[in-house]
Chain A
Amino acid sequence: MALSTSLRSNLIKPLTALTALSSTHHLRSPFSSSADDTTVLTIETSVPFIGHRCEPPSRNVETTPKEVLGFFRDMALMRRMEIASDSLYKSKLIRGFCHLYDGQEAVAVGMEAAITRRDCIITAYRDHCIYLGRGGTLFECFSELMGRQSGCSKGKGGSMHFYKKENGFYGGHGIVGAQIPLGCGLAFAQKYSKDETVTFAMYGDGAANQGQLFEALNMAALWDLPAILVCENNHYGMGTAEWRAAKSPAYYKRGDYVPGLKVDGMDVLAVKQACRFAKEHALKNGPIILEMDTYRYHGHSMSDPGSTYRTRDEISGVRQERDAIERVRKLILSHELSTEAELKSIEKEIRGQVDDAIARAKESPMPDPSELFTNVYVKGFGIEVAGADRKEVRGVLP
Chain B
Amino acid sequence: MALQTNKPLNGRRRGQSKRDQATLQNGVVWTITAPFALYLADQTLRRSSAQVRSEEAKMLGIVSRKVLGQSLGRIRPAVWALRNYSSAEKQMTVRDALNSALDEEMSADPKVFLMGEEVGEYQGAYKISKGLLEKYGPERVLDTPITEAGFTGIGVGAAYYGLKPVVEFMTFNFSMQAIDHIINSAAKSNYMSAGQISVPIVFRGPNGAAAGVGAQHSQCYAAWYGSCPGLKVLSPYSSEDARGLLKAAIRDPDPVIFLENELLYGESFPISAEVLDSSFCLPIGKAKIEREGRDVTITAFSKMVGFALKAADILAKDGISAEIINLRSIRPLDTPTINASVRKTNRLVTVEEGFPQHGVGAEICMAVVEESFGYLDAPVERIAGADVPMPYAANLERMAVPQIEDIVRAAKRACYRSTAMAATA
Measuring CB to CB, which residues of chain A are less than 8 angstroms from any residue of chain B? Answer: 120, 122, 153-157, 161, 163-165, 170-175, 178, 180-190, 192-193, 211-212, 214-216, 218-219, 222-223, 374-379, 381, 383, 385, 390-391
Contact = CB atoms under 8 A, between A and B. Distances in A.
A211 B162 CA distance: 26
Contacts of A182: 153-154, 156-157, 160, 181, 185
B75 to A, nearest CB: 34
B113 interface: yes
A164 B185 CA distance: 16
Which of under 10, 10 to 19, 20 to 34, or 35 or more describes the interface residues of B? 35 or more
Contacts of A211: 149
A383 B332 contact: yes
A153 B150 contact: no
Contact of B193 (A153, A181, A215): A153
Interface string B193-206: 11111101000000
> Which of B149, B196, B197 has the largest count of A CB atoms less than 10 A from its CB?
B196
A190 B144 CA distance: 18
B36 interface: no
B43 to A, nearest CB: 45
Given A214-B150, A218-B147, A378-B198, 6 more contacts: A153-B193, A182-B157, A186-B158, A215-B145, A377-B232, A378-B200
Given A178-B180, A377-B232, A185 B113 contact: no
Interface string B212-247: 000000000000000001101000000000000000
Contacts of A215: 145, 147, 149-151, 153
Interface in B147-196: 147, 149-163, 180-181, 184-185, 189-196
Contact of A219 (B150, B159, B232, B283): B150
Contacts of B121: none
B190 A181 contact: no
B334 to A, nearest CB: 10
Nearest to B140: A192
Given A173-B185, A174-B184, A212-B149, A181 B157 contact: yes
A185 B157 contact: yes
Given A175-B180, A178-B184, A189-B157, A212 B193 contact: no
Contacts of B283: 381
9 contacts: A163-B196, A173-B185, A181-B152, A184-B157, A185-B156, A189-B160, A215-B151, A218-B147, A376-B229
Nearest to B162: A189
A189 B161 contact: yes
Contacts of A379: 252-254
A189 B193 CA distance: 20
B233 to A, nearest CB: 12
Contact of B159 (A185, A223, A390): A185
A181 B197 contact: no
Contacts of B190: 375-378
A124 to B, nearest CB: 12
B154 A375 contact: no
A193 B154 CA distance: 15
B161 A190 contact: yes
Contact of B147 (A190, A219, A375): A219
Contacts of A156: 191-192, 194
B139 interface: yes
Contacts of A184: 150, 153-154, 157
B193 A186 contact: no
A161 B197 CA distance: 11
Interface in B101-146: 113, 139, 142, 144-145
A216 B148 CA distance: 10
Interface string B257-282: 00000000000000000000000000
B163 A165 contact: no
Given A215-B147, A376-B190, A390-B370, A189 B158 contact: yes
Contact of A376 (B149, B158, B230): B230
8 shortest A-B CB distances, which residue pairs?
A185-B157, A181-B153, A215-B150, A189-B161, A154-B194, A215-B147, A182-B157, A378-B253
A211 B153 CA distance: 12
Nearest to A162: B193
Nearest to B148: A215
A21 B180 CA distance: 54
A377 B254 contact: yes
A342 B254 CA distance: 51
Contacts of B163: 188-189, 192-193
Nearest to B200: A378
A133 B310 CA distance: 63
Contact of A157 (B158, B162, B192, B229): B192
B284 interface: yes
B285 interface: yes
A390 B369 CA distance: 12
A155 B194 CA distance: 8
B197 A212 contact: no
Contacts of B194: 153-157, 374-375
B154 A192 contact: no
A219 B144 CA distance: 8
A125 to B, nearest CB: 12
B110 to A, nearest CB: 9
A169 B373 CA distance: 50
Contacts of A223: 142
A67 B142 CA distance: 43
Contacts of B232: 377
Contacts of A155: 194
Most buried by A among B147, B157, B193, B197: B157
A153 B153 contact: no
Contacts of A165: 160, 193, 196-197
B157 A183 contact: yes
Contact of B145 (A157, A187, A219, A377): A219
A391 B332 CA distance: 19
